[in-house]
Structure 1
Amino acid sequence: MADTSVKIDDTTRNRLKALADDAGMSMKDYLARLAADKEHEKLLDTATASFRRLIGEPGILDRFDADFGGLPPAATAPQAA
C-alpha cells in the first residue's frame, strides 16, 4: 500500500508524535493502530445498541431464562474475620 501525506497543524502533529513516542511506536504505526481501535470501538457501539434493543423487546429476557436457565446463583465471597 502506498503512503500518503495528511496536512495537520503543528500542535496536533506534536501531540500525535508524543503519544506515538509514549507507546514506543512510529507515528505511522500509531495512527494505523488508532484507526483500527476506533473502528473496533464503532463496532462495539453498534453491537451494544443492538443488544439493548433486543433485551428491550417484551418477553426476550424471560425466553432467555427459559432456554438457558437464567443467571447462576450469586456466589458468596468469604468474609474477613
Structure 2
Amino acid sequence: MADTTTVEVDTDVHDRLAALAAARGLSLRAYLAELAAAQESQAALARAARAFDEAVVRPGFREGFARDFA
C-alpha cells in the first residue's frame, strides 16, 4: 500500500469534495489524485505556453517555424 497522510480541511470543503467525487463515481482519494494530476498538467501547459510566447519574439523564429512546419 502507498504511504498516506492526513489533510485537514473544513467540513464544508470535505463535503463538497466528497460530493464532487461521488458524482464522478470516484472515491475522495481518487478524485483528489485526479485533481492533482490535472493541476500538474495545467501548470506544465502554462509553462509551455510561456516558453512559446518567449520564443516567437526571437529573430528568425517565425520564419524557421513556417519553413519547418507550414
Q: Does TM-score exceed 0.5, indicating one fold?
A: yes
Give the percent of matched residue pairs that are identical in Structure 1 and Structure 2: 36
* RMSD across aligned positions (CA): 1.2
Compute the displacement of 1:57 (Å).
Answer: 1.2
Structure 1 outlier segments of 4+, above 4 Å: none
TM-score, structure 1 normalization: 0.77
What is the rounded CA distance, in whole Å, between the counterparts of 1:6 and 1:63 in structure 2? Answer: 49
Structure 1 unmatched ranges of 5 or more = 71-81
Alpha-carbon distance change, 66 to 27 in structure 1, aligned in 2, over 3 angstroms:
same
Structure 2 unmatched ranges of 5 or more = none
What is the rounded CA distance, in whole Å, between the counterparts of 1:67 and 1:35 in structure 2? Answer: 36
In the alignment of these two chains, the number of paired residues is: 69
Deviations 1:8-42 (A, max 9, x none): 00110011001101111000000011101111111
Specify which structure has the bigger relative contact order, considering alpha-carbon pairs within 8 angstroms and separated by 6 or more residues.
Answer: 2
Larger radius of gyration: 1
Structure number with higher helix proportion? 2
Name the SS of the counterpart of 2:58 in structure 1. coil
TM-score, structure 2 normalization: 0.87
